Chains A and B, each alone.
With several copies, the nearest count.
Chain A
């Protein structure tokens, strides 16, 4: 599903966020990306949905060479990838419902489908009752759940969740993780970047550890800290 080869990335201001990163992730996998603040986790994900291009190396997602994609093709790549952004990136002038529905509207889905799927997704994250609120009327954790709903609403083939439980209490965090796990079992590749030690430790999945832009560890059935 994902093939990252010799990818290096430095930002215009000179920060080297990734350095010669190589990862192969299969279609059925559920992978945790861990590492300290500023390690390059978000940057790695940005490579996959082409928000940023690597300075060198290739990125292949679902047989598509992301680095060589034409600008016109980028939207179609992004529709196949659901992203839970670390900073939510909700549209401020749209309600919760509209924010989630938007991810379906861009695909040109039928109105009835949009309605049904949006309701379902909001139900899954327990935000249906706040459907008509605007993002600024939500608590941190509520925004995060709306963002999760938007990421899963159009059944993406790849789900990137960047710190999806940073503002959630342990109980809700677990529910979300179980949701991601269920989505993974329904044939969606899932990549979760997280600082939540207890979740990583209990779920026993593949763990990729980044530090200073380099892969320090890539371990099946791993835990948060190297053992």
Chain B
């Protein structure tokens, strides 16, 4: 078969179909745009929520206490060593004086501990930040191996809670993303089906004048792709500035919120939205026209 000629014909037909269906195509593109916009918004929201919870986890420190007071040089050396443990994000030396100050600030407003205790009972320590909360126990163990380190402390209970929350959010988020994806799928596929159904008579006439199924099908599939791609594109075109505007705003009002602004991840999400549009459009065109072709 003259495959290339056919493909060209199908593409030309598809464009013709979109153009000649006028309002109908526009409305369909509009629906697809809105659905994909919502889908994208939701993806971004989920990524941010995950980000926030993860960030929350990494804010937890492991505290490594050393037996005797260390000199600044020793402190720097230990800091350097601890930094090389896999999963460690940041190590900060906390002198016993600093620890005592912050302890008194935190707990002695009412109960005048300082006067009761008299002298500083605290040792020097190192506050260690990790990349993700799930590796906390492993890092803590690794830290404990160092001879300089006397004892390691971290709040296991809080971490377990946070870990559960993260797991729940990860699972829940996954379920919701899948759910919303299927919702978007249903909306996009069915929207395109509506535009195809409106041309039921056309398909019927085409069959009567000797068109094979695939000859009828491909232009509709490509038309679906066109609508999907255009919808995806417009969706991204609204999504990107909206997200940028919102994050800019939030960053000012709530500087402590860890918003996702990584260009690469964002672009991946936008790409996912666009490709979803294309695939769903294609699926929509294929399913709808196949249904109509099957009859008789």
Which residues in A have some Cβ–Cβ distance to B below 8 Å? 49, 51, 72, 74-79, 83, 85, 89-94, 102-103, 105-108, 111, 150
Question: A85–B213 Cα gap in the complex (Å)?
Answer: 21
Q: A93-B20, A108-B6 are in contact. Are A103 and B202 (CB under 8 A)?
A: no
Q: A108-B1, A108-B2 are in contact. Are A89 and B208 (CB under 8 A)?
A: yes
B206–A106 CB distance below 8 A = yes
Least CB distance from A107 to B in Å reads: 7
Question: A163–B6 Cα gap in the complex (Å)?
Answer: 34
Which residues in B have some Cβ–Cβ distance to A below 8 Å? 1-2, 5-6, 9, 16-17, 20-21, 199, 201-202, 205-213, 215
B210–A107 CB distance below 8 A = yes
Question: A160–B9 Cα gap in the complex (Å)?
Answer: 28
A106–B210 CB distance below 8 A = yes
A106–B211 CB distance below 8 A = yes
Least CB distance from B52 to A in Å reads: 51
- What are 19 sample pairs from A and B whose C-beta atoms fall under 8 A apart? A49-B208, A74-B207, A75-B210, A75-B215, A78-B208, A78-B210, A83-B208, A83-B209, A93-B16, A93-B17, A93-B21, A94-B20, A102-B209, A103-B209, A106-B212, A107-B210, A108-B1, A108-B5, A108-B6
Question: A172–B164 Cα gap in the complex (Å)?
Answer: 83
Least CB distance from A222 to B in Å reads: 29
A103–B205 CB distance below 8 A = no
Question: A94–B21 Cα gap in the complex (Å)?
Answer: 11
Leading 5 A-B pairs by shortest Cβ distance: A79-B210, A78-B210, A93-B20, A106-B211, A75-B212
Question: Which residues of A have CB within 8 Å of B212?
Answer: 72, 75, 106
Question: Which residues of A have CB within 8 Å of B16?
Answer: 93-94
**A46's closest neighbor in chain B, by CB?**
B208
Q: Name 17 extra pairs, CB < 8 A, besides A91-B206, A103-B210.
A: A49-B208, A51-B208, A72-B212, A74-B207, A75-B213, A78-B208, A83-B208, A85-B208, A91-B202, A91-B205, A93-B16, A93-B202, A102-B206, A102-B211, A105-B9, A106-B209, A108-B6
B210–A76 CB distance below 8 A = yes
Question: Which residues of A have CB within 8 Å of B213?
Answer: 72, 75
Question: Which residues of A have CB within 8 Å of B2?
Answer: 108
Q: A105-B9, A106-B215 are in contact. Are A92 and B208 (CB under 8 A)?
A: no
**A89's closest neighbor in chain B, by CB?**
B205
- Which interface residue of B9, B16, B208 has the most chain A CB atoms within 10 A? B208
Question: A93–B206 Cα gap in the complex (Å)?
Answer: 12
Least CB distance from A180 to B in Å reads: 18
Question: Which residues of B have CB within 8 Å of A103?
Answer: 209-210
Question: Which residues of A have CB within 8 Å of B206?
Answer: 91, 102, 106
Question: A89–B205 Cα gap in the complex (Å)?
Answer: 6
Question: A77–B210 Cα gap in the complex (Å)?
Answer: 7
Question: A74–B212 Cα gap in the complex (Å)?
Answer: 8
Question: A103–B210 Cα gap in the complex (Å)?
Answer: 7
Question: A130–B84 Cα gap in the complex (Å)?
Answer: 82
Least CB distance from B226 to A in Å reads: 16
Question: A87–B106 Cα gap in the complex (Å)?
Answer: 89
**B293's closest neighbor in chain A, by CB?**
A71
**B203's closest neighbor in chain A, by CB?**
A91
Question: A103–B199 Cα gap in the complex (Å)?
Answer: 18
Least CB distance from B15 to A in Å reads: 12
Question: A210–B52 Cα gap in the complex (Å)?
Answer: 80
A78–B209 CB distance below 8 A = yes
Question: A89–B202 Cα gap in the complex (Å)?
Answer: 9
**B202's closest neighbor in chain A, by CB?**
A91
Question: A74–B295 Cα gap in the complex (Å)?
Answer: 13
Question: A89–B9 Cα gap in the complex (Å)?
Answer: 22
Question: Which residues of A have CB within 8 Å of B207?
Answer: 74-75, 78
Least CB distance from B23 to A in Å reads: 12
Question: A169–B72 Cα gap in the complex (Å)?
Answer: 110
Least CB distance from A138 to B in Å reads: 16
Question: A51–B295 Cα gap in the complex (Å)?
Answer: 12
Question: Which residues of B have CB within 8 Å of A92?
Answer: 201-202
